[in-house]
Amino acid sequence: MEENNKRTDVNELGEFGVIEHLTRNFALNNPDSIKGIGDDAAVIDIGDEALLISTDMLVEGIHFDAAYTPLKHLGYKSVVVNVSDIYAMNAIPTQITYSIAISNRYSVEALDDLYAGVLKACEMYGVDLVGGDTTSSPKGLSISVTAIGRAKKEQVVYRSGAKPGDLICVTGYLGAAYLGLQILEREKQIYLEHPTVQPDLDNAAYLVESILKPEARKDTIQYFHKNNLKPTSMIDISDGLASELHHIAKQSNVGLFIEEVNLPIHQETQLKAISFNIDPLTCALHGGEDYELLFTVDSKDVEKVKYMPDVYIIGDIVEKKEGLKLHSSGGKIHNLTAQGWKHF
């Protein structure tokens, strides 16, 4: 045993530091374990194909606030965030297991609502619910979902395959979920102070839906497969674009260059950010929970991605020594720092 009288706060290491620390003594010993910790999903060799496995937890008070999160949406989202990690490996999700810890505040009817959302997501993404676990909790609701998927072994895309000269692409718009959350938080504060005031969510449907009911990019993966396009690296955007870019750069051992003017920010995100006095760029770079895909492609595939629906080319991969840089619309070059979402 290690010496036990030192107490290290988990905040000293941060989320990724804690994961690295706890798993430092684990090696992959079975020959069929192709990829373990460190990508969106683990990859297991099952012959011609690979099996993909990913797990994510959602905890009340940390990942969702029961005051403004409809349980049906929560059920839907809890599946979406997991299948998103399977798509991020260029694979197709096929099954989920679903585990819950519930306090007695949750009635059977409330859990029916949660599972109505789970069912809807299972139908939407074509996955079967094949198991799970149910237990009580002293407080609140915790959800743990495992998603399983499949891909041809040579089709699996890792975070580590980007190389200088590749183009950096994202699907959809960035930053909307973060602002949706700010809107809901603000309405909650108003409600707590003035319980008779009705929430003002007019014109906020797009932003609020982005946080409460995101979708995973099934369409993007289907497009890749149909058009024989294989990204060189990929990750889903759960912690914010900047944080995910750092993962790609670190694991691919490269640098990168992002053009601010090319970042896809929806007009409603622009307008709401300005009304909240937040820089829209901050929302796009550091707002989390977009569940869009960030991927890189070889420059020979530029024509294929140029005409892809809903895909934006935001920069290039460069040599590692050039670092991670953002070319701002004002013409300056900044270091791209990662903030991400801190849950500790």
Spatial CB neighbours of 288, under 8 Å, sequence gap ≥ 6: 177, 178, 237, 238, 239, 240, 243, 340, 341
Q: Beta-strand (E) ranges in 103-175?
A: 128-136, 141-152, 167-171
**Does 23 participate in binding ligand ADP (rule CB under 6 A)?**
yes
Q: Which C-beta is closer to ligand ADP: that of 10 or that of 19?
A: 19
* Binder among 13, 38, 45, 115 for ligand ADP (CB under 6 A): 38
**Does 39 participate in binding ligand ADP (rule CB under 6 A)?**
yes
Specify burial of residue 24 (Cβ count, 10 A radius: 0-12, 13-18, 19+).
exposed
* Binder among 10, 37, 205, 274 for ligand ADP (CB under 6 A): 37
**Does 289 participate in binding ligand ADP (rule CB under 6 A)?**
no
HSE-CB of 162 using CA atoms within 13 angstroms = 33
HSE-CB of 117 using CA atoms within 13 angstroms = 22
Q: Which of residues 205-244 bind ligand ADP (CB under 6 A)?
A: 238
Task: Provide, rounded to whole angstroms, the least separation between the CB of residue 22 and ligand ADP.
Answer: 6
- C-alpha 118/C-alpha 112 separation (Å) is 10
Q: What is the CA radius of gyration of the chain?
A: 21
Kind of pairing between the strands at 92-102 and 128-136: parallel
When CB distances to Mg ion are compared, the closest residue is 40
Q: Which stretch binds Mg ion (CB under 5 A): 19-27, 34-42, 65-73, 250-258?
A: 34-42
- C-alpha 68/C-alpha 341 separation (Å) is 20
Helix axes 205-212, 267-275, angle to 10 degrees: 100
Residue positions counted in the chain: 344
Q: Which of residues 75-94 bind Mg ion (CB under 5 A)?
A: 85
Q: Which C-beta is closer to Mg ion: that of 183 or that of 338?
A: 338
**Residue 39 binding partner per list Mg ion, ligand ADP, none, with a CB distance cut-off of 5 to 8 Å that depends on partner kind:** ligand ADP
Q: Which stretch binds ligand ADP (CB under 6 A): 33-41, 95-103, 214-222, 307-315?
A: 33-41
Q: Which C-beta is closer to ligand ADP: that of 217 or that of 266?
A: 217
- Residue 328's φ and ψ, nearest 5 degrees, are -75, 160
- C-alpha 316/C-alpha 232 separation (Å) is 12
Q: Which of 210, 209, 227 is nearest to 175 (CA)?
A: 210
- C-alpha 114/C-alpha 76 separation (Å) is 8
Task: Provide, rounded to whole angstroms, the least separation between the CB of residue 291 and Mg ion.
Answer: 9
Spatial CB neighbours of 134, under 8 Å, sequence gap ≥ 6: 99, 100, 102
Binding pattern for the stretch 60-99 against ligand ADP, x by CB under 6 A and - elsewhere: -------------------------x--------------
Number of shown-chain residues binding ligand ADP (CB under 6 A): 10
Q: Which C-beta is closer to Mg ion: that of 71 or that of 216?
A: 216
Task: Provide, rounded to whole angstroms, the least separation between the CB of residue 247 and ligand ADP.
Answer: 8
* Binder among 34, 40, 106, 172 for ligand ADP (CB under 6 A): 40
- C-alpha 156/C-alpha 151 separation (Å) is 6
**Does 56 participate in binding ligand ADP (rule CB under 6 A)?**
yes
Task: Provide, rounded to whole angstroms, the least separation between the CB of residue 20 and ligand ADP.
Answer: 9
Q: Which residue has the tokens 């020594």?
A: 321
**Does 19 participate in binding ligand ADP (rule CB under 6 A)?**
yes
- C-alpha 225/C-alpha 43 separation (Å) is 19
**Does 40 participate in binding Mg ion (rule CB under 5 A)?**
yes
Q: Which C-beta is closer to ligand ADP: that of 37 or that of 62?
A: 37
Q: For binding to Mg ion (CB under 5 A), which residues are involved? A: 40, 85, 236
Q: For binding to ligand ADP (CB under 6 A), which residues are involved? A: 19, 22-23, 37-40, 56, 85, 238
